[in-house]
Amino acid sequence: MLQAPSQKALIPFVSVENMMRLVHHIGVETLLEELAGVVEGDFRRWELFDKTPRVASHSREGVIELMPTSDGEIYSFKYVNGHPRNMSHGLQTVTAFGLLAEVSTGYPVLLTEMTLLTALRTAATSAMAARHLARKGARTMALIGNGAQAEFQALAMKAVLGIENVRLYDIDPAATEKTIRNLSDSGLSVTACRSSQVAIEGAEIITTCTADKQFATILTDNMIGAGVHINAIGGDCPGKTELHRDILLRADTFVEYPPQTRIEGEIQQMAPDYPVTELWQVVAGLAPGRRDDNQITLFDSVGFAIEDFSALRYVREKLRGTGFYQEIDIIADPDDPRDLFGMLQRAQG
Whichever of 216 and 263 has its CB closer to ligand NAD, that residue is 216
**Does 53 help bind ligand NAD (rule: CB under 6 A)?**
no
Choice from 69, 70, 95, 146 touching ligand NAD (CB under 6 A): 146
**Does 175 help bind ligand NAD (rule: CB under 6 A)?**
yes
**Does 212 help bind ligand NAD (rule: CB under 6 A)?**
yes
Number of residues counted as binding ligand NAD (CB under 6 A): 29
| Segment contacting ligand NAD by CB under 6 A, of 35-43, 48-56, 299-307, 327-335 | 299-307
Whichever of 68 and 145 has its CB closer to ligand NAD, that residue is 145
**Does 287 help bind ligand NAD (rule: CB under 6 A)?**
no
Q: Lay out the site mask for ligand NAD across 65-84 (x = CB under 6 A, - = otherwise).
A: -----------------x--
Whichever of 69 and 149 has its CB closer to ligand NAD, that residue is 149
| Residue closest to ligand NAD (Cβ) | 147
Minimum distance from residue 80 beta carbon to ligand NAD (Å): 8
Minimum distance from residue 125 beta carbon to ligand NAD (Å): 7
Choice from 149, 231, 261, 295 touching ligand NAD (CB under 6 A): 149
Choice from 117, 130, 218, 312 touching ligand NAD (CB under 6 A): 218
Whichever of 304 and 325 has its CB closer to ligand NAD, that residue is 304
Catalytic residue among 42, 170, 236, 308: 236
**Does 130 help bind ligand NAD (rule: CB under 6 A)?**
no
Determine how many CB atoms are found less than 10 A away from the CB of residue 295. 18
Q: Lay out the site mask for ligand NAD across 303-342 (x = CB under 6 A, - = otherwise).
A: x---------------------------------------
> CA 237, CA 240: separation in Å to the nearest integer?
5
**Does 142 help bind ligand NAD (rule: CB under 6 A)?**
no
For residues 69 and 39, the answer to whether their CB atoms sit within 8 Å is no
* Closest C-alpha to 117, from 327, 312, 320: 312
**Does 265 help bind ligand NAD (rule: CB under 6 A)?**
no
Choice from 209, 276, 283, 298 touching ligand NAD (CB under 6 A): 209
Buried-exposed string 136-162: b where 16+ CB fall within 10 A, e elsewhere? eebbbbbbbbbbbbbbbbbbbbbbbbe
Mark whether 236 is an active-site residue: yes
**Does 261 help bind ligand NAD (rule: CB under 6 A)?**
no
Q: Which residues are catalytic?
A: 236
Q: Which residues bind ligand NAD (CB under 6 A)?
A: 82, 87, 93-94, 118, 122, 144-149, 169-172, 175, 209-212, 216, 218, 233-234, 236, 301-303
